[in-house]
Amino acid sequence: MVLVFEMKIDILTLFPGMFAGALNESMLKIAAKKGLADIELHNIRKWTHDRHKTADDKPFGGGPGMVMKVEPIYEALEALRTADSHVVLVTPQGEKFSQQAARELSGCKHLILICGHYEGFDERIRTLVDREISIGDYILTCGEIPAMVLCDAIVRLIPGVLGSEGCLDEESFESGMLEYPQYTRPASYKGMQVPEVLLCGDPKKIKEWQREEALKRTLERRPDLLVTKEQFNRGT
């Protein structure tokens, strides 16, 4: 029996071995077993034609480091791209990744992620992609780690991957606020108590407490999220 996956993700990388742990544990492994997401790794050097499998070269005009070549990326996309494909370049110059972006990408049937390395990309590679994404304003050695982040954030949003779909609505960033504090047993530990309201059994009071605590935490830690949510509600 051939599985028909909800989403196919092809990852173009120079270091496929880096993905072993991420793809074989937790939700990404579960998604593959359920037939919901198929993630396949492709070594970019497969599309090189010299005996050294060269995927990078010195930049024109001089400068430090090496630049990833356009030819192998072009040929890889020619081989993998379909009418359903959405190609994402993982780069520090891209838009900052967000939960909203994860939601948008989780609706794609086929994603192709291109992992950068060395000093950067030949600029012509940018003309071959649909979107450029960064996971934050800091420098990493390579694009493989951000690609893992994208896979995890996107795949977990595919219906059926998580055991309880309702838990997605309660998470930080989904409601425009950070998530409220969570507790589990025991109710008392070394003088640290679970708030009484969570033990009262009144769903209405508990919901009110959760919303108040979520708002309080967001005001203290990420007030910018409330501004963003307010602007979104106004349509500005």
Same domain, 217 and 175: yes
Domain region containing 38: 7-155
| Domains: count for the chain | 2
Domain assignment present for 128? yes
Give residues with Cβ within 8 angstroms of 177, minimum separation 6.
214, 215, 217, 218, 225, 226, 229
Q: What is the pLDDT of residues 43-65, one digit of tens each?
A: 999 999 999 999 999 999 998 89
Domain's final residue, options 107, 131, 155: 155
CATH number of the domain that 189 lies in?
A: 1.10.1270.20
Helix spans in the chain (H): 20-23, 26-33, 70-80, 99-106, 144-155, 203-221, 223-234
* pLDDT at residue 114 tops 60: yes
Domain assignment present for 106? yes
Find out whether the peptide bond into 186 is cis, omega within 30 degrees of 0.
yes
Treating both helix axes as pointing N-terminal to C-terminal, what angle do 203-221 and 223-234 enclose, rounded to 10 degrees?
110
Give residues with Cβ within 8 angstroms of 202, minimum separation 6.
none
Domain's final residue, options 102, 126, 155: 155
Q: What is the pLDDT of residue 162?
A: 86
Domain's final residue, options 100, 130, 155: 155
Q: What is the pLDDT of residues 129-166, one digit of tens each?
A: 999 999 999 989 899 999 999 999 999 999 999 866 55
